[in-house]
Structure 1
Amino acid sequence: MDSMTHPVPIATFTINPTVDLSLDVACLRPEGKSRARLRSTRGGGGGINVARGVRRLGGMALAVHTAGREVGARLNRLLDDEGLAHLPIEIGDDTREALVIAERESARNFHVVPAGPTLSAGEERYCLDTIARTAEYCDYFVLSGSGTPGLSAGFSAAVARTVAATGAALIADIAGTQLTTMLAEHVFLLRLDRVEAAALIGRPIAGYDDARAANALLLERGACDHAITTVGALGAVCSDRSGHQLIAAPNLPTPPRSDACAGDSLVAAITQRLTEGADVARACEIGVAAAAATVMLPGTDLFESSTVDTLAGRVRAVRWTDAVAD
């Protein structure tokens, strides 16, 4: 798809995608061979998973991503075969491969992910140029996933400025240095997990009050219009300048299997619902349901839309009316 001539409601960017090999084993053994069944081979990475989730909910998204050498070519083929609209950016280093192992006896999942390729300064600039051309033709632009080794510390901040210049709304789900430098900019929506939120406020995120404190700090800094901090199995807190909303996750009908793509599922559902006219708080309720639907599945499997619909009716939302201080 040509992002410069075909507008789409949502575009995503993944600078460090993966080819995920998902295996089922009865039990991982320390000696000898652990015989496995190949469950799936699919393209992955934050923005690609978000685009996949948007499509699963009936929406349309363009996944922009890097693709390097032989593994990058395989990634492109996998996304083509899946029918996912995507725009690859060719790089000189190999795209990474990840291993996802579901152990049946324990119902545990193991996600083994290498660091990924190193981009040159010229490749970083070309990524920003592509983002600028793509964001001009979408309503929401999602930046999601981990960075590459040696990525310029200010890359995500530059993405924020680039997207802002186009008028698109930026939704960011990033971590580490890339998140820290982006906080000096202003974006539409920031999503934090418990690790990043804990680093922000200097204490663990044990419950909703801690998540609210992290969101309040983001808003007070002027980093975003909307902040969402997830609290694992408890759910999330969604905040804006008018106050905070506690969103309690539904009880699961089956035990959780893997949280590998829970955050991506939440962001996908939020973004898709926003394109349908929902406000952020209501969109986040659906996002929590999508995350819950995903954690019941093994490996990097994403929710089924019918499960999201079922669980959405069990999500509870409570509004805190205290406004964030100026």
Structure 2
Amino acid sequence: MKPIVTITLNPAVDLTIEVGGLVQGGVNRAERAQLNAGGKGVNVAGCAADWGVPVTATGVLGRGNDGAFVELFAIKGIADRFIRITGDTRTNIKIADTTSGETTDLNTPGLVVDAECLKRVTAAALNAAKTGAIVVIGGSLPAGIAPDALVSLVATLNDAGATVVADTSGAPLKALLAAKGKLLPFAVKPNRHELEELVGRPLPNLDALVGAAQDIVLSGVRLVVVSRGEEGALFVTADEKLTARLPVIEALSTVGAGDAMVAGITTALAEDKPVEAIARQAVAFAAAKLARVGPHLPERTVVSALAERAEITRL
């Protein structure tokens, strides 16, 4: 099994507050509150570690409040290669309405990161990826980092023999996919909204999503996964097109389900699984995560059973 490295340049401390029937403009009594280390790459690392894969996590953290991250990495056996800088990592507040099943996000500004810090993160990732790791670049970019900064990062990782999975959106994703050849990541995982933003037009049905995903594959990306919420996900390569889904599961928290899907994709790639098995594992990770708050999976047998139940439709 290949090791996994995750890169999170703009992580967050996630404060999840559960409320039964959120009343805007009124007083709400929280049923429960939970603080978790967060950020796409951190969430991927947590779920991948639960699956039993060796994981290294790097990125940028503020020295002032890294305790939740230190604790998470220690509990899960994740190698901590984060670069610490002065200041506090941002806090993102997530209000989970347990009555409606909806989550409201309040995201605060993050740290300001300079080019020198990015070089240190790149060096840490390269050191961990020397054995041909699967490298996940996840989330938004912090202030101080240009939207096209991921292009050179991906190129450097590709040169080192890594397999890069990019889960970002907006200007960074657009810049990344404008690159050519060896500058491109192996895989990307936009959701429907992010893919619509990328192509600049509505994608109202499955055929439209397939067409947009195929265009990305034709540019040189090997695997495009489009997450579709309760409808599962679309998986497109040069040779295969399929959807995978599981029955709707009652969710304790939808926060991080997309990141869990990336963890499923990444761990399946680390195990050299074919596309259908990647799809099954991806939707199983996402579904299993719905019953947990924070970057955690249930026992492996539970996730494997979900993967076997996944409904696969070849297109």
TM-score norm. by structure 2 comes to 0.89
1:70 shift after superposition: 0.9
| Residue type at the aligned position of 1:311 | L
Count of aligned residue pairs for this structure pair: 310
The structure 2 residue matched to 1:187, chosen from 169, 185, 188, is 185
1:233 shift after superposition: 1.4
Residue 261 of structure 1 corresponds to 256
The structure 2 residue matched to 1:115, chosen from 92, 109, 117, is 109
Segment drifting more, 117-126 vs 68-77: 68-77
Segment drifting more, 31-40 vs 125-134: 31-40
1:165 shift after superposition: 1.3
Distance 2:148 2:27 in 1: 44
What is the CA deviation profile of residues 285-316 of structure 1, one whole-angstrom value per residue up to 9, with x for unaligned ones?
A: 21012212223x36545442444223222212
The structure 1 residue matched to 2:94, chosen from 97, 100, 112, is 100
The structure 1 residue matched to 2:270, chosen from 267, 270, 275, is 275
Distance 2:99 2:311 in 1: 33
Distance 1:89 1:41 in 2: 21
- Kept after mapping to 2: 8 A contact 1:205/1:231: no
- Kept after mapping to 2: 8 A contact 1:109/1:299: no
Secondary structure at the counterpart of residue 192 of structure 1: coil
Residue 203 of structure 1 corresponds to 201
Distance 1:203 1:233 in 2: 22
Residue 37 of structure 2 corresponds to 43
**Closer, same or farther in 2 for the Cα pair 1:206/1:312, shift >3 Å?**
farther
1:181 shift after superposition: 1.1
Segment drifting more, 69-78 vs 257-266: 69-78
Residue 251 of structure 1 corresponds to 247
The structure 1 residue matched to 2:286, chosen from 282, 285, 291, is 291
The structure 2 residue matched to 1:316, chosen from 301, 311, 314, is 311
Distance 2:166 2:237 in 1: 15
Secondary structure at the counterpart of residue 110 of structure 1: strand
- Kept after mapping to 2: 8 A contact 1:206/1:231: no
1:238 shift after superposition: 1.2
Distance 1:97 1:186 in 2: 31
Structure 1 gap ranges (5+): 1-6, 321-326
The structure 2 residue matched to 1:233, chosen from 214, 230, 233, is 230
1:231 shift after superposition: 1.9
**Closer, same or farther in 2 for the Cα pair 1:104/1:244, shift >3 Å?**
closer
Distance 1:307 1:39 in 2: 26
Distance 2:67 2:308 in 1: 41
1:197 shift after superposition: 1.1
- Kept after mapping to 1: 8 A contact 2:280/2:308: no
Segment drifting more, 166-175 vs 197-206: 197-206
What is the CA deviation profile of residues 9-44 of structure 1, one whole-angstrom value per residue up to 9, with x for unaligned ones?
A: 111111111112222233444456433254422211
> What root-mean-square deviation, in Å, do the aligned CA atoms of Structure 1 and Structure 2 show?
2.4
Structure 2 gap ranges (5+): none
- Kept after mapping to 2: 8 A contact 1:16/1:66: yes
Segment drifting more, 57-66 vs 22-31: 22-31
The structure 2 residue matched to 1:175, chosen from 169, 172, 178, is 169
Segment drifting more, 181-190 vs 45-54: 181-190
Segment drifting more, 206-215 vs 53-62: 206-215
The structure 2 residue matched to 1:215, chosen from 210, 213, 216, is 213
Secondary structure at the counterpart of residue 79 of structure 1: helix
Residue 145 in structure 1 maps to residue 143 in structure 2: no
What is the CA deviation profile of residues 174-228 of structure 1, one whole-angstrom value per residue up to 9, with x for unaligned ones?
A: 1111111111132211111112211233333333222211211101222x11111
Segment drifting more, 159-168 vs 119-128: 119-128
| Residue type at the aligned position of 1:106 | S
**Closer, same or farther in 2 for the Cα pair 1:149/1:230, shift >3 Å?**
same
**Closer, same or farther in 2 for the Cα pair 1:75/1:153, shift >3 Å?**
same
Alignment of 1:22-37 (within 5 A): 22-30=16-24, 33-37=27-31
Secondary structure at the counterpart of residue 111 of structure 1: strand
**Closer, same or farther in 2 for the Cα pair 1:36/1:79, shift >3 Å?**
farther
Distance 1:211 1:174 in 2: 18
- Kept after mapping to 2: 8 A contact 1:24/1:103: yes
